[in-house]
Amino acid sequence: MSSFDFLATERLLLPPLSVEDTDALVAVYSDPQVPRYVGGDRLTPEAIGLQVADFTHEWQERGYGQSAVIRRENGRFLGRIGLHFWPNWGETELGYVLSREAQGQGLATEGCRAWIDWARRDRTIRSLIANIHPENTASIHLATKLGFTFDRNDQTPSGVPTLIFRLDV
């Protein structure tokens, strides 16, 4: 897709994540329970700023990336959901991080489904992966609920064991 406005669902606005969202994302990650499976202590404010810059570059280069997750009802920033290309695997991941206050309400499911629908319309992405820490049972449950199936055991580029689930789109 050459131009991307943003996705929206019944309860969420999903505009492209931008550098203006860095402080809000730092606040989400400041709860130690939130980033424990996606980088933990390595996600310093500086590292989060670099991550957001990478996500912004991905939007420019690929036409997709991570979206800010904004609650329609009150405009509150809740986290990020979207796509991320992993060059070392040559695969596109559907990933998310939500604040603890936003968990357990079906918001990750809602936002992920919007991205799956987008990937199906885009037609350049043949499959999506979910890169999940083996102890993250909530994300394993969500991936299978969304139709992903276990593909393989692997390691992230930083050497952390991960489970890879796959969904053909």
Summarised one tens digit per residue, pLDDT across range 31-74 is 888 877 776 666 787 888 888 999 999 999 999 999 999 999 99
Q: How far apart are CA 71 and CA 63, in angstroms?
A: 23
Altogether, the residues listed in the chain come to a count of 169
**What's the alpha-carbon Rg for the chain, to the nearest Å?**
15
Vertex 125: Cα angle to 21 and 81 (nearest 5): 25
Q: Is the pLDDT of residue 147 over 60?
A: yes
Q: Is the pLDDT of residue 1 over 70?
A: no
Residue 35's pLDDT is 72
Residue with tokens 């405009």: 75
What are 21-39's pLDDT values in tens digits?
999 999 998 888 887 777 6
Confidence of residue 4 (pLDDT cuts 50, 70, 90): low
In the chain, DSSP finds a helix count (H) and a strand count (E) of 4, 8
Domains of the chain: 7-168 (3.40.630.30)
Q: Coil, strand or helix: which one is 92?
A: strand
What are 77-101's pLDDT values in tens digits?
999 999 999 999 999 999 999 999 9
Neighbours of 38 (CB within 10 A): 20
Position 118, amino acid:
W
Q: Is the pLDDT of residue 2 over 50?
A: no
